Structure 1
Amino acid sequence: MSIPHLELSQVGMEFPTDNGPFVALTDVNLRLKQGEFVSLIGHSGCGKSTVLNIVAGLYQATYGGVILDNQEVNSPGPERAVVFQNHSLLPWLSVYKNVELAVKQSKQKRSKAEIREWVEHNLELVHMTHATHKLPSEISGGMKQRVGIARALSMEPKVLLMDEPFGALDALTRAHLQDSVMEIQAALGNTVIMITHDVDEAVLLSDRIVMMTNGPSATIGEILDIELERPRNRIEMADNPLYNKYRHQVLQFLYEKQRKVEPVFQNNKNNKKAQSSSDAA
């Protein structure tokens, strides 16, 4: 078997609480190839963001670990860039300056002219050159997220980590940004891990969908290979039988996991009602 580009091996994560350790993740194993687009999907609290933060080096796994190109990941680094749901732009800096700041933090040594050329190149990738000198307060939410993506890409990361990057956007803006991400990823060949709650988004963008079980002690429940030809057109996909088959498989997995949670929730609710009635009596 060939050596993977990125590997999560037996990853487990515990958080200390007053009542003892909370086990967020257990035995998470995943191998990614160079240039692969993988989506993480699952119900809230299933550890998706924890997985992403471990790969980013923001969390240190309690057990197991992450290897990127034969190097252990134990801290943040420019080879792994994160795009958050909140754009996180510095409000006092222009669009250009926000991206320039990231370029200057990267390991690449560039002259002033090379920095300018590289910043403009990355803004052009996300179609934001027209807003170069605007402040974040002067552009829309979708534009801010485009700048956040440009900032991440400007670091020339081996792995692009995206935490629900389109979750706070309206449907039309989300669709435009999804198309942009597909175009950029096809052109640059970055490895991408994206968290999403949107089944259609996962199927449209991904090479594989990693479906997480419910927490605590969440882990990978199923991995679905998406064998749809690229480039993908969202209009054509709507009538594609294979697309709809994949969509159904993901929805079925999520629905079955939800059914396992609801009886527990209902029992807890009934127990509280019974306790309340007993106290009243």
Structure 2
Amino acid sequence: MPVLRQVDLQIARGEYIAVIGHSGCGKSTLLNVIAGLLPPSAGGVVLEGREIDGPGPDRAVVFQNHSLLPWLTCYENVRLAVDQTVGRRMSKAERHDWVLETLALVHMTHAKDKRPAEISGGMKQRIGIARALSMRPKVLLLDEPFGALDALTRAHLQDQVMEIHASRGTTVVMITHDVDEAVLLSDRIVMLTNGPNATVGEILKVGLPRPRDRLALAADPVFVAARTAVLGFLHARHANPALSAA
């Protein structure tokens, strides 16, 4: 049985898209298809006029699990990604400087010589984000990267992702279960219907200017309205699992 059907979505360069829906609706499947990790049984994904036929350095994924190599230091984990992608066009000194610059972007230079077992979960996720950014991807794919973190660490990382998005202008597609996170970070929220055979139920444009301050937005009527709209969509699908996109 197909997981997804008739998913028609256009994403502009530099746009931040959040994909949300109930468990089992195919959010991660959609992300894996965009990443080229999973071939679609029908249709396809086009990036800048070229159809995606497999993984590539133009798309970098940050998974729920940081997926760092435990025997390498934080610096070496990022350096490995650089050496295999953009570093091929750089000198050794340029690769070194680029790794340090990327670590500084996520405020992890101080831990560059530590191994994953020596740092916290939030710090591991920062290294995972740094590794993805070090490849200079056109599209950054985030698969619930903050889901396993405590509230304070999650907030810090969300703020850093907003800073990176503002400074780099990278296109971002993020899978999330967190409604507040989706509204805070994204330009548009893509809401999937229940699976299997899930499709795009609604797309909500988040009309909040950037930069965004989470404390200032707490009582902002635009934020509250967007949050209410997404919660209403999810609640309707939870109350009636057979509800269609219509």
Bigger RCO of structures 1 and 2 (CA < 8 A, at least 6 apart): 2
Same fold (TM over 0.5): yes
Aligned to 1:46: 25
Contact 2:16 2:171 in 1 (8 A): yes
Aligned to 2:57: 78
Instruction: Choose from 11, 14, 29 the match for 2:8.
Output: 29
Q: CA deviation at 1:129?
A: 0.2
Q: Output the amino acid matched with 1:218.
A: A
Q: CA deviation at 1:262?
A: 8.7
Q: CA deviation at 1:261?
A: 2.2
> 1 CA distance for matches of 2:3 and 2:180?
26
Per the normalisation by structure 2, the TM-score is: 0.97
> 2 CA distance for matches of 1:77 and 1:128?
26
Q: Which runs of 5+ in 2 are unaligned?
A: none
The number of equivalent residue pairs is 242
Residues 251-271 of structure 1, C-alpha deviations (whole Å, 9 max, x = no match) = 0000000011299xxxxxxxx
Between the two proteins, what is the percent identity of the paired residues? 63
> 2 CA distance for matches of 1:55 and 1:262?
27
> 1 CA distance for matches of 2:100 and 2:55?
25
Per the normalisation by structure 1, the TM-score is: 0.85
Structure of larger gyration radius? 1
Q: Output the amino acid matched with 1:63.
A: A
Q: Output the amino acid matched with 2:37.
A: L
Q: Output the amino acid matched with 2:166.
A: A
Residues 13-62 of structure 1, C-alpha deviations (whole Å, 9 max, x = no match) = xxxxxxxxx21010000001000000000000000000000000001111
Q: Which runs of 5+ in 1 are unaligned?
A: 1-21, 264-281
Bigger fraction of residues in strand: 1
4+ long deviations beyond 4 Å: none
Q: Output the amino acid matched with 2:168.
A: L
- Establish whether residue 254 from structure 1 lines up as the match of residue 234 from structure 2: yes
| Counterparts of residues 104-119 of structure 1 (less than 5 Å) | 104-107=83-86, 108-119=88-99
| Counterparts of residues 153-232 of structure 1 (less than 5 Å) | 153-232=133-212
Residues 168-191 of structure 1, C-alpha deviations (whole Å, 9 max, x = no match) = 000000000000000001000000
